Amino acid sequence: MNISFQQRLQRAWTRTGSLVCVGLDPDIKRIPAELRSGPQPILAFNRRVIDATAQVAAAYKPQFAHYAAVGAEGELAATIDYIRQKAPDAVVILDAKRGDIGSTAEMYAREAFDRYRADCVTVNPYLGGDGILPFVMRPDHGAVVLCRTSNASAGQLQDVDVAGEPLYLAVARRAAAEWNPHGNLLLVVGATYPEELRAILTAVPTIPFLVPGIGEQGGDLAGVLAGGLTADGNGLLISSSRGIIYAGGGEAGAIRAAAEELNRQINGLRAACKK
């Protein structure tokens, strides 16, 4: 019997003592030259990143476009296999932002969970529950639903006023009430919006968050922790991609140092929040 996704996420937090999610967004132009000229440069670079961060990563988040654009599906699959070997406690989030319905969504679930063996996949809520539920029907896997994203134009749809509250809050409430029958749903809230994070946590206190936007996007780490930590000091996966993987031009020691520094910062703030 597999453990549930919820148990798997709790175990990742407990065993690693970390909230850090390492985003694997390999861009061939930014991969160090000594790897770029060899075979399977994306996989080689990801292995370097995983080796350097396995001790401090509660999760890894490969971003699908970076593999799809260059036909590197095999390297994506091999990357996830490598995470399982080197960081067996870490949760693997396939960041593909799927958004389709019925039998098509089931095909995407097969892709994420059977083909790539990810634990969960990011999903877009614009199609309503039909687009979410196929991804949460297996209790040992999960969905990470976009709620309030970190980009500049996010508010064009997400902030529209719906009966006195912003749409993203309506999405969060509906996610909690209707789209989460197995407790295996997370919400994406950008680190650039700590106040929104606090409002969502108040509205839906039991749903964990994936928080991108730390690092190059300039998110507010202290605000995120103050706004998003649950009573047990977890409830968050804080994702950094380029700020970790391209540290020092993609050199192993610098990658390790960047991931450890982020973990130290988070855990320092976390300890302060607990007091």
Q: How far is the CB of 109 from its own copies (least distance, A)?
A: 8
The one among 37, 39, 126, 177 contacting its own copies by CB under 8 A: 126
Backbone angles phi, psi at 133, to 5 degrees: -60, -35
Backbone angles phi, psi at 232, to 5 degrees: -85, 5
Site for its own copies in 230-269 (CB under 8 A): none
Site for its own copies contains 139 (CB under 8 A): no
Binding mask 151-190 for its own copies (x = CB under 8 A): xxxxxxxx-xxxx---x--xx--x----------------
Place of tokens 């047990």: 232
In the complex with its own copies, the residue whose CB is nearer, 162 or 273, is: 162
Site for its own copies in 7-26 (CB under 8 A): 25
Three-state secondary structure string covering the chain: CCCCHHHHHHHHHHHHCCCEEEEECCCCCCCCHHHHCCCCHHHHHHHHHHHHHCCCCCEEEEECHHHHCCCCHHHHHHHHHHHHHHCCCCEEEEEEEECCCHHHHHHHHHHHHHHCCCCEEEECCCCHHHHCHHHHCCCCCEEEEEEECCCHHHHHHHCCEECCEEHHHHHHHHHHHHCCCCCCEEEEECCCCHHHHHHHHHHCCCCCEEECCCCCCCCCHHHHHHHHCCCCCCCEEEEECHHHHCHHHCCHHHHHHHHHHHHHHHHHHHHHHHC
Residue positions annotated with a catalytic role: 97
In the complex with its own copies, the residue whose CB is nearer, 84 or 115, is: 115
Q: How far is the CB of 211 from its own copies (least distance, A)?
A: 16
Site for its own copies contains 28 (CB under 8 A): no
| Tokens found for residue 153 | 């134009």
Q: How far is the CB of 174 from its own copies (least distance, A)?
A: 6
Q: How far is the CB of 175 from its own copies (least distance, A)?
A: 11
d(CA 169, CA 163): 11
Site for its own copies contains 97 (CB under 8 A): yes
29: how many CB neighbours lie within 10 A of its CB?
A: 6
Q: How far is the CB of 233 from its own copies (least distance, A)?
A: 30
The one among 108, 135, 193, 209 contacting its own copies by CB under 8 A: 108
Q: Which stretch binds its own copies (CB under 8 A): 2-10, 14-22, 36-44, 100-108?
A: 100-108
The one among 10, 86, 129, 260 contacting its own copies by CB under 8 A: 129
Q: How far is the CB of 157 from its own copies (least distance, A)?
A: 6
Q: Which stretch binds its own copies (CB under 8 A): 1-9, 41-49, 111-119, 221-229?
A: 111-119
Provide the binding-site residues for its own copies, judged by CB under 8 A: 25, 27, 63, 65-66, 68-71, 73, 97-105, 107-108, 110-111, 114-115, 124-131, 146, 149, 151-158, 160-163, 167, 170-171, 174
